[in-house]
């Protein structure tokens, strides 16, 4: 939906409101996908939906109702239900009043090339991978997803925010027919023009060929080079855990021993800065939060020191701080080395393509477990010498960034295990000491 259409719809919904405060959030858009498996397209899907969320507040009582029926009668019914539920809800002492009009910078993440991608174009992108795979006697599987939509927020105090955004991702796993080798490649962007399906297919094919018949090496602590995707897989757990309230309440890695939080404390190597910016050209994102606060460029960790933690509006008020919304993007600082240079500088180590089934083990230390997958190699005397069996690790991204050896050039990666667009994240390849691999896996 365009801006005017959203404004008109929001106005129509707000006209039915009778209580102190009402917020209307409109999410609309189309999604398309094509899946391929065993070198052919297996399924696909195209859908369009538009939903209206109505938040009604009476004093400190509130409730939310969502509907995807947008006619007058349905909208009115949704507003009435939200108001009725709000009346029945007990008072919440932490409820904050709706914001008045705000000033936003315009988001830039719309690409016509992505929005106009149809099933035929998606099928062509898939064939750029399936055909070379079949020709090489390999088996390709993959997924292309596009999203093109808009979000709008309007409230009874006159706030209006609108952003339209496209996103897409293409990921592929190429395996050998006998199942002894597997290679992955993937990319994501807001702009289809920035993706090269043929190149992705070639990278996955190359890895599949090189990963056959992996040998077992002993689990233990290894110097490890993580490709950017593997770094992206782990770094998002640091930003996900950043929340001032949880930290102040003593139930987070970011809790300070003795009370309070770790703002101002050094937690990782001083070469690490983690920031977010909705106008970063590599990771365009929404310029406002779900409750209508403007999102601007923010440093979360600067030179290894915690600079900011997200504060919701209530907690900020209670602690005497400025509210700080979370952001939909992450950028981690890097260096200038190429992946090849990181490998060449390594006497003995492990190269990881990506991680899988990452799950929290201990929130006190941000300890996670997970496994390597689709391209794990041994490095000896500066060269990749053999494919090795996958490992399970138990380690924390915080420990990892304290054992930092070297950083490469940051790039945007597809860091969602599920292969969808996921979090927009730019990270470098890194080389770390003593990464903790705890057991072997027979999975290829």
At residue 271, the 3 state secondary structure works out as: coil
CB of 237 to another protein, least distance (A): 13
Indicate the residue among 347 and 442 with the shorter CB distance to another protein: 442
Indicate the residue among 124 and 338 with the shorter CB distance to another protein: 124
CB of 160 to another protein, least distance (A): 22
Contact 344, 382 (CB under 8 A): yes
CB of 179 to another protein, least distance (A): 7
Among residues 372, 408, 429, 374, which one has the least CA distance to residue 232?
429
C-alpha distance from residue 87 to each of 13, 64, 318, 395 (Å)? 19, 12, 26, 48
Contact 387, 206 (CB under 8 A): no
Indicate the residue among 174 and 343 with the shorter CB distance to another protein: 174
Looking at residue 91, the DSSP 8-state letter turns out to be P
CB of 147 to another protein, least distance (A): 10
Indicate the residue among 164 and 262 with the shorter CB distance to another protein: 262
Rounded to whole angstroms, the Cα distance separating 144 from 414 reads 12
Contact 366, 358 (CB under 8 A): no
Indicate the residue among 335 and 422 with the shorter CB distance to another protein: 422
Burial status of residue 156 (CB atoms within 10 A of its CB: 0-12, 13-18, 19 or more): middle
Question: What length does the chain have?
Answer: 444
Indicate the residue among 66 and 322 with the shorter CB distance to another protein: 66
CB of 380 to another protein, least distance (A): 25
Among residues 32, 71, 34, which one has the least CA distance to residue 50?
71
* CA–CA–CA angle 19, 95, 58 (5° rounding): 15
CB of 84 to another protein, least distance (A): 9
C-alpha distance from residue 228 to each of 241, 268, 383, 387, 429 (Å)? 20, 18, 19, 19, 4
Rounded to whole angstroms, the Cα distance separating 349 from 262 reads 33
Among residues 135, 226, 224, 255, which one has the least CA distance to residue 410?
226
CB of 55 to another protein, least distance (A): 9
Indicate the residue among 100 and 250 with the shorter CB distance to another protein: 250
CB of 226 to another protein, least distance (A): 18
CB of 33 to another protein, least distance (A): 6
Rounded to whole angstroms, the Cα distance separating 363 from 293 reads 29
Strands 220-226 and 348-362: parallel
Indicate the residue among 141 and 189 with the shorter CB distance to another protein: 141
The distance of Cα 411 from the centroid of its chain, to the nearest Å, equals: 14
Which tokens is 60 given?
């400190």
Indicate the residue among 97 and 250 with the shorter CB distance to another protein: 250
């Amino acid at each position: 939906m365009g801006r005017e259409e959203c404004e008109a719809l929001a106005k129509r919904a707000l006209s039915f409101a009778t209580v102190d405060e009402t917020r209307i959030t409109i999410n609309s858009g189309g999604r398309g996908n094509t899946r391929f498996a065993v070198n052919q397209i297996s399924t696909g899907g195209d859908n369009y939906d538009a939903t209206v969320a109505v938040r009604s507040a009476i004093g400190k009582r509130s409730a939310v109702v969502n509907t995807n029926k947008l006619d007058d009668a349905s909208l009115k019914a949704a507003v009435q239900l939200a108001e009725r539920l709000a009346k029945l809800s007990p008072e919440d002492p932490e409820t904050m009043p709706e914001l008045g009009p705000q000033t936003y910078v315009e988001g830039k993440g719309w690409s016509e090339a992505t929005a106009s991608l149809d099933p035929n174009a998606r099928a062509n992108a898939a064939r750029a991978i399936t055909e070379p795979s079949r020709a090489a006697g390999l088996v390709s599987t993959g997924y292309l997803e596009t999203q093109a939509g808009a979000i709008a927020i309007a409230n009874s105090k006159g706030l209006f925010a609108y952003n339209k955004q496209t996103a897409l991702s293409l990921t592929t796993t190429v395996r050998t027919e006998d199942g002894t080798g597997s290679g992955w490649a993937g990319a994501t962007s807001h702009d289809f023009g920035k993706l090269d399906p043929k190149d992705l297919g070639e990278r996955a094919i190359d890895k599949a060929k090189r990963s056959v018949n992996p040998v077992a090496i002993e689990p233990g602590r290894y110097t490890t080079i993580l490709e950017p995707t593997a770094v992206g897989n782990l770094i998002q757990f640091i930003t996900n855990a950043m929340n001032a309230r949880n930290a102040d309440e003593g139930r987070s890695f970011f809790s300070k021993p003795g009370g309070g939080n770790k703002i101002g404390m050094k937690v990782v190597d001083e070469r690490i800065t983690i920031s977010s910016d909705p106008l970063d050209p590599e990771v365009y994102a929404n310029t406002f939060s779900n409750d209508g606060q403007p999102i601007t460029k923010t440093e979360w960790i600067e030179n290894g020191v915690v600079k900011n933690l997200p504060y919701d509006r209530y907690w900020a008020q209670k602690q005497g701080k400025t509210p700080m919304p979370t952001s939909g993007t992450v950028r981690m600082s890097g260096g200038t080395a190429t992946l090849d240079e990181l490998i060449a500088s390594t006497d003995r180590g492990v190269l990881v393509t990506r991680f899988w089934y990452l799950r929290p083990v201990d929130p006190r230390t941000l300890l996670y477990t997970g496994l390597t997958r689709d391209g794990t190699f041994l490095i000896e005397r500066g060269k990749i010498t053999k494919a090795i069996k996958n490992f399970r690790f138990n380690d924390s991204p915080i420990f990892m960034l304290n054992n930092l050896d070297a950083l490469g050039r940051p790039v945007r990666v597809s860091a969602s295990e599920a292969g969808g667009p996921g979090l927009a994240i730019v990270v470098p390849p890194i080389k770390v000491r003593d990464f903790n691999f705890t057991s072997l896996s027979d999975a290829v």
